[in-house]
Amino acid sequence: MNYRNLLLVLCLVSGLVPVARAEVVISQYYEGTSFNKWLELSNTSDTAISLDGFVLTRWANAATEAWKQDGASPGGSDSLDGLSIPPNGSLLLGNTRAVVPAYA
């Protein structure tokens, strides 16, 4: 069996192996004035989750549905590579110019 056939067999077999899915949910969203926007991601599983490959995409208010009709592009996106969430834990993300509210 040559290398190419072996690679094909491995690809086919690996597709049959069940993959465990991590449970990441958006558990809270806070929208204050100006840049005061916060997003909490929570891990509902009993194992730590790497966010490598996860991307958050930002849309302007008027364009949130436009992609369905005209293929509009998002206002920006952020890779979450290098971040992780501990088991049953949370990760708080905020705008780099956000200010913690006085009541927090």
* DSSP class of 35: T
Q: Residues, the chain, total?
A: 104
* pLDDT tens profile 47-62: 999 999 998 887 776 6
Q: Is 65 helix (H, G, I), strand (E, B) or coil?
A: coil
CA distance 58 to 79: 12
* pLDDT tens profile 13-44: 445 444 455 589 999 998 888 888 889 999 99
Looking at residue 7, its pLDDT comes to 45
Mean pLDDT of the chain, nearest integer? 77
Looking at residue 41, its pLDDT comes to 95
**What's the angle, vertex CA 51, arms to CA 45 and CA 54, rounded to 5?**
120
Residue ranges per domain, the chain? Answer: 20-94
**Residue 41 CA: distances (Å) to CA of 16, 52, 55, 88, 94:** 30, 14, 12, 11, 11
